[in-house]
Chains A and B, each alone.
Chain A
Amino acid sequence: MHQLLRTRVNDFAVKLANVNGTGSASANGLLMQAIFRMGIPVSGKNLFPSNIQGLPTWYEIRVNKDGHTARALDYDLIVAMNSQTYARDVREVREGGYILYDSSWPLDKSLIRDDVTYLGVPLAELCNDHFKEPRERILMKNIAYAGAMIAALDVDMEIVRQLLDEKYSSKKALRESNLRALSLGYDYAKKHFQCPLPFFLEKMDTTSDKILIDGNTATALGCVYAGATVAAWYPITPSTSVMDAFRGFCDQYRRDPETGKNNCLIIQAEDELSAIGMVIGAAWTGARSFTSTSGPGISLMGELLGLAYYAEIPAVVMDIQRVGPSTGMPTRTQQGDIMACAYASHGDTKHILLFPSNPAECFEFAVKSFDLAERFQTPVFMLSDLDIGMNDWVVPRLTWDDAYQPDRGRVLDLGQLEKLSKFLRYTNEDENHIASRTLPGVHSNGAFFTRGSGHNRLGAYTESPDEYQDVVERLLRKHKAAAKFVPAPVIQKRDRARIGIVTLGGCDPAVREAIDLLPQRGIEADFMRIRGFPFSEDVEAFLNEHDVNFIVEQNRDAQLRSLLVLETDVAKSKLRSILAFGGFPLSAKNVTDGILEQVGELTHAIDR
Chain B
Amino acid sequence: MPSIAKPVAIHPSLQKNVLGLTMRDYEGAMSTLCAGCGHDSVTAAIVRALWELATPPHMLAKMSGIGCSSKTPTYFVSGAHGFNSAHGRMAAIATGANAANRELTYIGISGDGDSLSIGLGHMCHAIRRNVKMLYIIENNGVYGLTKGQFSASADVGSKSKRGEPNRMAPIDPVALGLSLGATFIARSFSGDKEQLVPILKAGLAHRGFALVDVISPCVTFNDHVGSTKSYLHTRKHTRRVTESDFVPPATEILATIGQSGTTTVTMHDGSVVRFTGVPKDYDPTNRQRVTSYLQEHQGQGEVVTGLLYLDESVPDLHEMSNSPDQALSKVPYDKLCPGAAELAKLQEEYR
Contacts and interface: CB of A to CB of B under 8 A. Distances in A.
B3 to A, nearest CB: 7
Given A441-B327, A461-B1, A397 B79 contact: no
Kindly list the 5 A-B residue pairs having the minimum CB-CB distance in the complex, ordered from nearest: A281-B96, A277-B92, A278-B96, A287-B100, A440-B81
Contacts of B167: none
Contacts of B351: 36-37, 211-212
Interface stretch (B232-240, B278-286, B335-343): B335-343
Contacts of A287: 99-101, 327-329
Contacts, number: 230
A57 B339 CA distance: 39
Contact of A229 (B78, B331, B342): B331
Interface residues of A, number: 73
Given A285-B104, A444-B58, A263 B335 contact: yes
A263 B329 CA distance: 10
Given A274-B122, A399-B343, A449 B82 contact: yes
A592 to B, nearest CB: 32
A283 B232 CA distance: 44
A586 B63 CA distance: 47
Interface of A: 36-37, 211-213, 217, 221, 224-225, 227-230, 232, 253-254, 256, 259-267, 269-271, 273-275, 277-287, 289, 303-304, 307, 397-402, 404-406, 438-444, 446-453, 460-461
A195 to B, nearest CB: 27
A311 to B, nearest CB: 8
Interface in B276-327: 317-318, 321-325, 327
A443 B336 contact: no
B20 to A, nearest CB: 13
Given A37-B351, A273-B89, A227 B333 contact: yes
A449 B329 contact: no
A440 B58 CA distance: 7
Given A227-B337, A307-B86, 5 more contacts: A213-B350, A281-B92, A285-B101, A406-B333, A440-B80
A284 B93 contact: yes
A281 B93 contact: yes
A448 B89 contact: no
21 contacts: A213-B350, A230-B100, A261-B322, A263-B324, A267-B96, A270-B121, A270-B122, A277-B92, A278-B99, A285-B61, A285-B329, A304-B89, A307-B85, A398-B343, A442-B58, A446-B58, A447-B58, A449-B73, A449-B82, A450-B82, A461-B1
Contact of B121 (A224, A271, A446): A271
B92 A447 contact: no
A343 B318 CA distance: 35
B333 to A, nearest CB: 5
Interface in B76-134: 78-86, 89, 91-101, 103-104, 121-122, 124-125, 129
Q: Which of A254, A274, A406 has the most CB of B within 10 A?
A: A274
A472 B72 CA distance: 26
B335 A284 contact: no
Nearest to A255: B322
B74 interface: yes
B217 interface: no
B333 A450 contact: no
A461 B71 CA distance: 11
Contact of B85 (A253, A285, A452): A452
A448 to B, nearest CB: 7
A268 to B, nearest CB: 10
Contact of B93 (A254, A259, A277, A438): A277
A461 B2 contact: yes
B343 A270 contact: no
Given A399-B340, A402-B340, A281 B329 contact: no
B318 to A, nearest CB: 7
Contacts of A228: 336
A303 B122 CA distance: 15
A517 B61 CA distance: 61
Contact of B324 (A227, A253, A261, A285): A261
A282 B100 contact: yes
B177 interface: no
Contacts of B175: none
B223 to A, nearest CB: 26
Contact of A259 (B63, B81, B324): B324
A450 B101 contact: no
A281 to B, nearest CB: 3
Contacts of B3: 460-461
A204 B281 CA distance: 83
B30 to A, nearest CB: 12
Interface in B35-59: 57-59
A450 to B, nearest CB: 4
A307 B351 CA distance: 43
A225 to B, nearest CB: 5
Given A229-B328, A262-B321, A263-B335, A282 B86 contact: no
B93 A439 contact: no
Contact of B58 (A286, A289, A441, A452): A441
